[in-house]
Amino acid sequence: MSDPQELAKALLKVSGPLLIGHLLNWGLFGVLSVQVYIYHLAFPNDHIRNKALSYSVYVLEIVQTMMLTQSAFHAFAEGFGNVEYMMEVGNLWFSVPILSGMIFFITQMFYAYRVHRLSGSSILAGVVIFFALVSFAGAIATGALSRHVGDLTGLLSKNTFITLGIWNGGNAVCDAIIAICMTVSISRRSTGLPQSQALVNKIIRLTVETGSLTAAVAILNLILILLPDHAGYFLAPIGILGKLYSTSMMSVFNSRIVFSDGGIKTLTSASAVDLPRTNWRAEQRGSANRPVRVAVKVTQEQLSFPSNEQTSFWEDKTPVRRADSFQLPTR
């Protein structure tokens, strides 16, 4: 691109959004680091599967942040005032589409597992996996095309816009399905206990907020890609999608922390991310004929009952039957 005017116009379309994307990426990396640190402190004995998932995603985020930092230093510091440095693709073809696509796929598989456990439907989980694979394929195709373009203006080509549309469109559809399925599945689990229902409402709110946020950013990115002037505005939000997915996943893990009057509790005996598939209506019908076990200890001075300790409905708090226990039949 030898014409200075055309080069200046193309530079304005990509340099500003690229700088904003770098700044947002660094800020969200700090948020993610705090989430991972809280998880490390709160759940030292968590399941090895959850630890491997959390730390592997965080390692990928570290690698992506380091590569993006090198790209920003090369463009805005080492090549300050040099337009050719600014327009180089460098490692952006790998750090943004490939690494972000891997992070998307891992987190979406995590949510597909949750959808399967909550709803008990393999079809819904299969739909989530299908759109996750479509999105991952679009990310790989975007990275492959970006690898062979001459400069950043090559990202504004028609073929690249098609692969970007597949990538972000698949993410938007996948996030919408995940948010709807999980919200409906969790809302059906009515416990009838105020404390337990409050935790259910908290999980529903967290699911809607995180799912809506990632879906909204993916849709915004898709809109910016389809703008008629083919500007590079999509370079700003496209670099932060990975951090949003990772942070939303870590917020789900950390949602098992319960704040009570006596301090902070962590639900380690039953994970909020690994729920058993149960038929709650059948349990409620069967509980009508089930004997209630009550542990009572009577002395001359006091009468003590089981404590009203604040717990989660994910935990099994059935009193242990002892020798001085008796059963009260229900009517």
Share above pLDDT 70 across residues of the chain, in percent, rounded to a whole number:
69
Containing 129, the helix (H) or strand (E) segment is helix 122-147
CATH architecture of the domain with residue range 4-266: Up-down Bundle (1.20)
Residue 204 has pLDDT above 90, yes or no: no
Q: How many other β-carbons are positioned within 10 Å of the β-carbon of residue 281?
A: 10
What pLDDT was estimated at residue 131?
94
- Binned at pLDDT 50, 70 and 90, residue 190 comes out as low
Share above pLDDT 90 across residues of the chain, in percent, rounded to a whole number:
26
List 260's β-bridge partners, or say none: 263
pTM of the model: 0.74
- Binned at pLDDT 50, 70 and 90, residue 263 comes out as low
Which amino acid, residue 194? P
Containing 163, the helix (H) or strand (E) segment is helix 158-187
pLDDT tens digits along 16-65 = 888 888 999 999 999 999 999 999 999 999 999 999 999 999 999 999 99
pLDDT tens digits along 77-104 = 887 777 777 778 888 889 989 999 999 9
What pLDDT was estimated at residue 188?
74
Domain ranges of the chain: 4-266, 280-328
Beta strand extents in 184-262 (DSSP E only): 257-260
